A and B are shown apart, each in its own frame.
Chain A
């Protein structure tokens, strides 16, 4: 598998939206600036490697898979802690902590889910790092797409009962359908050597 094929698979096939159904609440470009996106992807990549090492060399050989939730908690807490440090000492801005949609929790969950997605794959360590990296990028692409579609839909005359969240869920469902279709077409192409 060459790099482009791998990136394509990682963006569409291991997308956080596709696997976890985490709907992007707000993914305006101001929220996800290049600097922040870069940091999140790097942290996710490193954590993916760490998780793969820990899972393969500690949890699996000793039959301790049951302890995974504690390990996931450690990842969530560590990524949240790192983001709080980033906000406090690099960006130097104030935070409202206890809100799911404020940045620390949602960004930590994004990192955490990227790590989970990477950890589910049967791949070598380099590929796992790549999947961690591209899954975050894929999620951001999907989030920007959803956000853009919803903004356009606000201008359309859709029935009252479908306005708001019903149309959001249906839109995300259709995007997921397209993503899973692309994923399947890609595998079909590989195995049939199109």
Chain B
């Protein structure tokens, strides 16, 4: 696909969406969206912190590998902690949590796409991370609502195999939903710009 035709702003959002697509697909309910979103925010904060330290390294390639190794160790620590605190939750979530091993190189590159000397750079990246965390929660919420017609987080008991539009619980539904959300975002931003002008 020729990406030159799209604006740089759109490209920037697309790059990160592409990188976090596996975790977006995994966020099929509000509960998973909250857990994955929180871990994502934690990881992006660490990515920003470590990238800001890159100026102390002359060889960035070495730093890139070192940074990803640190992420892997942090992920091991988080999953071990979860396994100790709640073994059942670990059994349920560990395949999703291990997906972050895939996203960490992407987060590193996302965090390193700007000048590291900027004063507000770190806060900007962290606020963007917060934005994506919110997006993960919203996508999880919408997928569960459209897929099952209810939100289990607010229920005392799971009533079983309810389904409304089961496609939204599948990876294909996640893509279609994100495509529609992108279109809505584009429509709203176009209207806003039109209104402002």
Interface residues of A (CB under 8 A from B): 18-23, 25-26, 65-70, 72-73, 76-77, 97-100, 105, 109, 112-113, 116, 120, 146-147, 150-151, 154, 160-162, 164-170, 172-174, 176-177, 180
Interface residues of B (CB under 8 A from A): 1-3, 5-6, 10, 14-15, 17-19, 21-22, 24-25, 60-61, 64-65, 68-69, 71-73, 75-76, 79-80, 83, 94-95, 98, 100-102, 105-106, 109, 112, 167, 170-176, 178-180, 182-184, 186-187, 190
Q: With contacts A168-B179, A169-B178, A180-B172 known, is A22 near B18, CB below 8 A?
A: yes
* Contact status B171-A70, CB under 8 Å: no
Please pick, from B72, B101, B176, the residue contacting A173 in the complex, using a CB distance under 8 A.
B176
Which 10 pairs from chain A and chain B are nearest by CB?
A: A173-B175, A169-B179, A170-B179, A176-B172, A173-B176, A73-B72, A166-B183, A177-B172, A21-B21, A69-B75
Q: With contacts A69-B79, A98-B109, A150-B1 known, is A167 near B68, CB below 8 A?
A: no
Q: How far is the CA of A105 from the CA of B178 in the complex (A)?
A: 25
Task: Name the A residues within 8 Å of B2 (CB-CB).
Answer: 154
* Contact status A98-B175, CB under 8 Å: no
* Contact status B109-A105, CB under 8 Å: yes
CB of B181 to closest CB in A, whole Å: 8
Task: Name the A residues within 8 Å of B22 (CB-CB).
Answer: 20-22
Please pick, from A21, A23, A109, the residue contacting B105 in the complex, using a CB distance under 8 A.
A109
Measured CB to CB, the nearest residue on chain A to B110 is A100
Q: How far is the CA of A160 from the CA of B184 in the complex (A)?
A: 11
* Contact status B105-A76, CB under 8 Å: yes
Task: Name the A residues within 8 Å of B1 (CB-CB).
Answer: 25-26, 146-147, 150-151, 168
* Contact status B72-A23, CB under 8 Å: no
Q: With contacts A173-B179, A176-B175 known, is A22 near B21, CB below 8 A?
A: yes
* Contact status B174-A21, CB under 8 Å: yes
Interface of A is mostly: helix
* Contact status A23-B18, CB under 8 Å: yes
Q: With contacts A23-B18, A176-B171 known, is A164 near B5, CB below 8 A?
A: yes
Q: How far is the CA of A170 from the CA of B167 in the complex (A)?
A: 13
Task: Name the B residues within 8 Å of A97 (CB-CB).
Answer: 60-61, 64
Measured CB to CB, the nearest residue on chain A to B100 is A69
* Contact status A98-B64, CB under 8 Å: yes
Q: How far is the CA of A169 from the CA of B186 in the complex (A)?
A: 14
